[in-house]
Amino acid sequence: MIEKGMKGRCSEVVTEDLTADKIGSGLVKVFATPMMVALMERTCSDSVAAELGEDECTVGTLLEIKHTAATAVGMTVTCECELVEVEGRRLRFQVKAFDDAGEIGAGMHERFIVTRSRFEEKAGRRASESKNGLA
């Protein structure tokens, strides 16, 4: 059962492939903001995954975060989340990211529980409709 107060934690080592200059979000060789966001999303998703049905998953719908400090290649980034609100299929998480020297980012992330097969089918229909000029 998904309940307020559930927590999650994920870590990764910053490699050259995760830097702003490598992924195109900037010109510096530090942990890229989009990569921090991806770690935050993964942490939140993973924190509730074991409580979902067989064909269920969560999808990210909203992020309100600040990236407040640069992280060099070779440092470890850890993200922690806490589920602070459950409203039907909507889940709201507080998230924080830290490197070896302290906090690097924080904010809120919202996810929705979806039925994976229906979600992918709907996305496929949308793609087909856009190719046929219906979108």
* Cα gap 31→101, rounded to integer Å: 14
Burial degree of 97 (CB within 10 A; 0-12, 13-18, 19+): buried
Is 41 noted as a catalytic residue in this protein?
Answer: yes
CATH of the domain at 41: 3.10.129.10
- Which is catalytic among the residues 33, 56, 82, 115? 33
| Per-residue tokens: 76 | 């470890």
How many folded domains does the chain comprise? Answer: 1
Whole-model pTM: value is: 0.93
Per-residue pLDDT tens over the stretch 67-103: 999 999 999 999 999 999 999 999 999 999 999 999 9
Catalytic residue, candidates 43, 67, 80, 110 = 67
Is residue 33 part of the annotated active site? The answer reads yes
Q: Which domain holds residue 81?
A: 7-131
